Chains A and B, each alone.
Chain A
Amino acid sequence: MSIENLKTYDPFAEADEDTGESKQAQNYIHIRIQQRNGRKTLTTVQGLPNKFDRKKILKVIKKKFACNGTIVNDTEMGEVIQLQGDQRKDVQEFLIDKKEGLELDPKTIKVHGF
């Protein structure tokens, strides 16, 4: 049972789109792929939980998958990890992996692209 008066949020306030969307984005981790020139591709990992240090993750990933990568600071999406090449599968496995990964729930990860 919850008492309606004790709820912290105001039900009559305007539903703020921005906060809602950012929350949604935080729920899911999106792994995307982008084509570059030729056979080259880019992999972007968006929406990693804030409890992780992106720099450290990137360092591990770069070593593990033998690719270069950067952290891009996007105004809307926050910090996005950008990797060279198609690393979608590797990244997904890394995020889920219990032993040497981030132990994330596979349901929170969305892999996009073809």
Chain B
Amino acid sequence: MATEEHSDTPDRKSRKSVVFDTEAVVVEGDGTVTKMASAEAAQDSAQSHAPSTPPLSDALGAFTNPNEAPVEEQAPAEDGLDLSMMKKKKKKSKKTEEADGEAAADGAADEGGLDLTMKKKKKKSKKTEEDELAAKIAALEMGEEGAEDQAEEPKEEQTGDMDKGTGIWTHDETKPISYELLLSRFFNLLAQKNPDHASSGSKNYKIPPPQCMREGNKKTIFGNLPDICKRMKRSEEHVTSYLFAELGTSGSTAGAGQLVIKGRFQQKQIENVLRKYIIEYVTCKTCRSADTELNKGENRLYFINCHHCGSRRSVTAIKTGFSAQVGKRRKMRTG
């Protein structure tokens, strides 16, 4: 394993569905998570899952026919839902708001106030577009306030230790659990049951920090270059040539594999260059793993082969560009 450290956040994209021993946790394409611990719970989650879609259609209906539709459609839906549902719905409408401002605004308006004052506001504001927009913004704000009030309550309700199975997490609990809680539970379980999951394919890749010493006044010694090269599985020549090209200097190797670079460089600067090198010549662009190999392919091109995902890509050869003449001209002429 090339990776040294476990990243603290688990890799979230790697699996679409994960089946655990007793319960199934299903991640759908759109990122919604459904947990099925038992038949009962399955029903609950199905129930809780279903209403997350209607608001959109409601919103759309409201958009096409804003004056009539919401009252009829929204009312039964509200009766059937409890407060945690409202919260979820709010989430949904917030999302759509980004995607489709107007429809969401209508939806939010529906939710936020089924009271008449809101309705009146909307009806009045039909006259001009600008008015409408302003009203929508106002309606959105109102809706958010309303939703916040409602959102407060389920938080108090849904407590309990998910490991011990108390509170909301008890086995025969019939209350629908809010999305956030379920999601946190999912990732908790994921990390618990697959401890190695987080480390595999993680992009956390560590090299020892470069050791820089000053030699005299104008030279820098890069001490642990062989060490770093070994860790990156790259030849020292390649790394040094890249360093020189990037830093716009020259240098030589002293004994024990140390690199002497002309010019004053701090450790931070060298580290930056090394980081660039790793991005360009070490990590695999497809899977981001650092378990790669650099070799010369046909016709003088360099290729990176990834051992992790098997992809192959070409990389540009290192080129030193224009380097201005620095120092005394007389020296250059004679030397």
Contact = CB atoms under 8 A, between A and B. Distances in A.
Contact of A36 (B268, B269, B326): B326
A36 B262 CA distance: 10
Contacts of B265: 114
A114 B269 contact: yes
Interface residues of A, number: 20
A82 interface: yes
Interface in A40-71: 42, 44, 46
B323 interface: yes
A80 B322 contact: yes
Contacts of A46: 321-322
The B interface is mostly helix, strand or loop, or mixed, namely: loop
Contacts of A74: 322
Interface residues of B, number: 19
A35 B324 contact: no
Contact of A72 (B272, B273, B322): B322
Contacts of A72: 322, 324
Given A35-B263, A35-B264, A113 B324 contact: no
Contacts of B327: 36-37
User: SS class of chain A's interface: helix, strand, loop or mixed?
Assistant: strand
Interface string B314-330: 00000001111011000
A41 to B, nearest CB: 9
Contacts of A114: 246-247, 265, 268-270, 272-273
Given A112-B248, A114-B246, A34 B321 contact: no
A112 B280 CA distance: 13
B246 A112 contact: yes
Given A44-B321, A77-B321, A114-B265, A32 B326 contact: no
A32 B264 contact: no
Contacts of B159: none
A35 B322 contact: no
B324 A42 contact: yes
Interface string B243-280: 00111110000000000000111001110110000000
A80 B248 CA distance: 15
B321 A112 contact: yes
Contacts of A35: 247-249, 263-264, 326
Interface string B269-297: 11011000000000000000000000000
User: Looking at B247, B264, B273, which has the most chain A CB atoms within 10 Å of its CB?
Assistant: B247
Interface of A: 25, 30, 32-37, 42, 44, 46, 72, 74, 76-77, 80, 82, 112-114
Q: Which 5 A-B pairs have the closest CB atoms?
A: A114-B269, A77-B322, A35-B263, A34-B248, A80-B322
